[in-house]
C-alpha cells in the first residue's frame, strides 16, 4: 500500500542535512535547561537562605506562592522551581516560621536532580550522540551546540522561564513522528521487507536513493530467505537499524519521549503540567492516529500466530506467554516452542508443529510493522527463528478479531 503521508524528498541529502539541524534546536533547548540547573546548583545548593540573599533576592523564586502555613499553592512560582528544578528550602515550614518570627533565616537551600532534569539530560545525551554521527557522515558542519543562559534574567522574569520551557516542549514535539515527516519516515522503515519498503516509498527502488538512506540511517539485512530466486530473495530481505546507528538512536529517542508523556502520572508530564496543563499524551495521539489508518484498510493480526507477552487481565504471571519462538525451515515456520502460564497459575513448556508460509506472514504483518512496530509488538527474526513480543496479549487479540468496542486494544500500550 503506498503511504502518502511522507512527502519530503528522502533521496536528497540536503533534506537530511536540514533534519539534523532541526535536531540541533532540540539540543539547544535541552542544554539551556541543563546549564541553568547546573548554575543554580553551583550558586545555591547547600547555602542557607540568609547567605543566599547576599548574592541575589531569591525570595520570589523560593517563596512565591507559599502560604503562611508553608504550603505551596498550585502552579505557584516556588512550586514550579521545586518540582521541575528541585530548587527549594530543605524544610519550607522551618523557613516560613523563622521569617514570621523575624529570626535569622538559616534554613538550608537544596537543589535536587528531579525526574524532569534527568529526562532533559537523557534527551540531550541521545540527541548529541545522533549529531556526532551526523557530523562524522558530513551531514552537518559541527555537532557543537552553544547556548547563552541569562541566569539572573530567568530568575527575575517568570516569562523568560516559561519561554525556555515552552521552546523545549515545542522542540520535543516537533521531532516526533506525530508531526515530523522525516521522523515518520525513520520510524516506518525498521523491520520492513524490501518489498514493502519500496512499495511504501517507491523512490527507494532507485539504488542510489536506497544506498543513501541505508548509509544515513544505518539499515542492514537481518533476514534473507533461503530461496534461489534472486528477486524473491531481495523482496523478502528484512531490514533493521543496527545498534548504535542513527536510525536506531532516533527510534529510541522517539520511544523515550513518548513514554515520558504517556499518562498523567508520568513524572515529566506531571511536572510540566504545572505550567502546561493541556500538554498532550504524544504516544496515545500517535497510536490512535495510526490505528485508524490500519482499521480503514481492514488490517488484522494473523489469527494463527502465537505472540509472547503479558496478559494484563490476570495478576502476576497468570495467562502470560513467556516465549513463543517459531523455527524457520526454508520459507516455512515448522514448529513453535511455547513457554507459558495458565490462567490458573500452572506453568507449561511445549513444542507444537506447524506449517505456516513465512513470506505470506511477512506480507500480512508489514502494514503494522510499518506503523506499530515497537508499540503494539516487536518482531524478532533471524535466519532460523521468529518471535513476536507484545506488551499485552489482549491488545493483539483485539487486532486479531476486531474488538475495538472496549479499551483492550490500548492495554499495556498506552496509559490514559
* pLDDT value for 5: 54
The CA distances from residue 335 to 6, 64, 183, 325, 390, in Å, are 39, 66, 37, 8, 20
* pLDDT value for 405: 73
- Identify whether the C-beta of residue 125 lies closer than 8 Å to the C-beta of residue 251: no
Q: DSSP state, 70?
A: S
144 SS3 class: coil
Domains of the chain, by residue range, sit at: 47-107, 294-401
* pLDDT value for 407: 75
CA of residue 336 relative to chain centroid, distance: 31
Q: CB burial class (10 A; 0-12, 13-18, 19+) of residue 400?
A: middle
Rounded CA separation 174/269 (Å): 16
- Identify whether the C-beta of residue 339 lies closer than 8 Å to the C-beta of residue 352: no
Sheet strands (E) in 153-260: 192-193, 219-223, 238-241
- Predicted confidence pLDDT, tens digits, the chain (416 residues): 334 457 889 999 999 999 999 999 999 999 999 999 999 999 999 999 999 999 899 999 999 999 988 899 988 999 999 999 999 999 999 999 999 999 999 999 999 999 999 999 999 999 999 999 999 999 999 999 999 999 999 999 999 999 999 999 999 999 999 999 999 999 999 999 999 999 999 999 999 999 999 999 999 999 999 999 999 999 999 999 999 999 999 999 999 999 999 988 899 999 999 999 999 999 999 999 999 999 999 999 999 999 999 998 899 999 999 999 999 999 999 999 999 999 999 999 999 999 999 999 999 999 999 999 999 999 999 999 999 999 999 999 989 988 877 777 776 787 76
* pLDDT value for 372: 93
CA of residue 200 relative to chain centroid, distance: 23
Return all residues near 170 (Cβ < 8 A) that are at least 6 apart: none
Q: Can you give the pTM of this predicted structure?
A: 0.94
Rounded CA separation 191/326 (Å): 17
Return all residues near 125 (Cβ < 8 A) that are at least 6 apart: none
Burial profile 318-352: b = 16 or more Cβ within 10 angstroms, e = fewer = ebbbeebbbbbeebbbebbbbebbeeeeeeeeeee
- Identify whether the C-beta of residue 415 lies closer than 8 Å to the C-beta of residue 282: no
C-alpha cell recorded at residue 84: 521541575
The sign of the CA dihedral 349, 355, 359, 361 is negative
* pLDDT value for 1: 37
State the pairing for strand pair 321-329/347-357: unpaired
Amino acid at each position: 500500500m503506498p503511504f502518502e503521508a511522507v512527502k519530503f524528498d528522502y533521496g536528497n541529502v540536503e533534506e537530511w542535512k536540514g533534519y539534523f539541524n532541526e535536531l540541533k534546536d532540540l539540543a539547544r533547548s535541552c542544554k539551556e535547561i541543563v546549564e541553568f540547573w547546573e548554575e543554580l546548583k553551583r550558586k545555591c545548593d547547600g547555602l542557607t537562605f540568609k547567605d543566599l540573599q547576599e548574592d541575589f533576592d531569591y525570595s520570589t523564586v523560593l517563596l512565591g506562592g507559599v502560604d503562611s502555613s508553608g504550603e505551596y499553592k498550585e502552579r505557584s512560582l516556588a512550586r514550579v522551581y521545586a518540582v521541575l528544578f528541585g530548587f527549594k528550602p530543605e524544610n519550607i515550614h522551618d523557613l516560613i516560621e523563622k521569617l514570621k518570627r523575624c529570626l535569622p533565616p538559616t534554613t538550608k537551600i537544596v537543589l535536587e536532580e528531579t525526574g524532569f532534569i534527568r529526562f532533559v539530560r537523557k534527551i540531550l545525551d541521545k540527541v548529541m550522540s545522533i549529531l556526532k554521527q551526523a557530523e562524522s557522515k558530513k551531514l552537518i558542519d559541527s555537532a557543537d551546540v552553544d547556548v547563552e543562559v541569562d541566569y539572573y534574567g530567568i530568575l527575575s522574569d517568570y516569562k523568560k522561564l516559561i519561554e525556555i520551557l515552552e521552546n523545549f516542549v515545542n522542540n520535543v514535539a516537533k521531532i516526533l513522528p506525530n508531526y515530523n515527516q522525516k521522523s515518520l519516515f525513520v520510524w516506518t522503515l525498521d523491520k520492513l521487507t524490501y518489498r514493502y519498503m519500496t512499495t511504501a516509498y517507491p523512490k527507494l527502488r532507485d539504488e542510489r536513493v536506497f544506498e543513501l538512506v541505508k548509509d544515513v540511517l544505518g539499515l542492514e539485512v537481518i533476514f534473507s530467505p533461503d530461496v534461489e530466486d534472486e528477486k524473491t530473495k531481495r523482496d523478502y530481505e528484512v531490514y533493521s537499524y543496527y545498534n548504535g546507528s542513527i536510525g536506531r538512536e532516533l527510534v529510541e529517542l522517539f520511544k523515550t519521549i513518548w513514554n515520558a508523556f504517556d499518562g498523567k502520572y508520568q513524572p515529566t508530564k506531571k511536572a510540566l503540567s504545572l505550567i502546561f496543563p493541556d500538554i498532550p499524551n504524544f504516544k496515545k495521539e500517535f497510536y490512535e492516529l495510526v490505528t485508524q489508518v490500519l482499521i480503514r484498510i481492514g488490517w488484522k493480526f494473523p489469527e494463527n500466530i502465537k505472540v509472547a507477552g503479558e496478559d494484563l487481565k490476570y495478576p502476576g504471571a497468570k495467562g502470560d506467554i513467556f516465549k513463543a519462538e517459531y523455527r524457520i525451515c526454508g520459507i516455512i515456520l515448522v514448529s513453535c516452542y511455547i513457554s507459558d502460564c495458565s490462567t490458573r497459575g500452572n506453568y507449561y513448556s511445549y513444542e507444537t508443529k506447524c506449517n505456516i508460509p513465512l513470506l505470506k506472514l511477512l506480507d500480512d504483518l508489514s502494514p503494522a510493522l510499518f506503523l506499530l512496530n515497537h508499540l503494539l509488538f516487536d518482531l524478532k527474526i533471524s535466519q532460523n527463528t521468529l518471535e513476536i513480543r507484545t506488551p499485552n496479549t489482549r491488545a493483539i487479540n483485539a487486532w486479531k478479531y476486531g474488538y475495538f468496542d472496549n479499551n483492550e486494544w490500548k492495554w499495556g500500550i498506552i496509559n490514559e
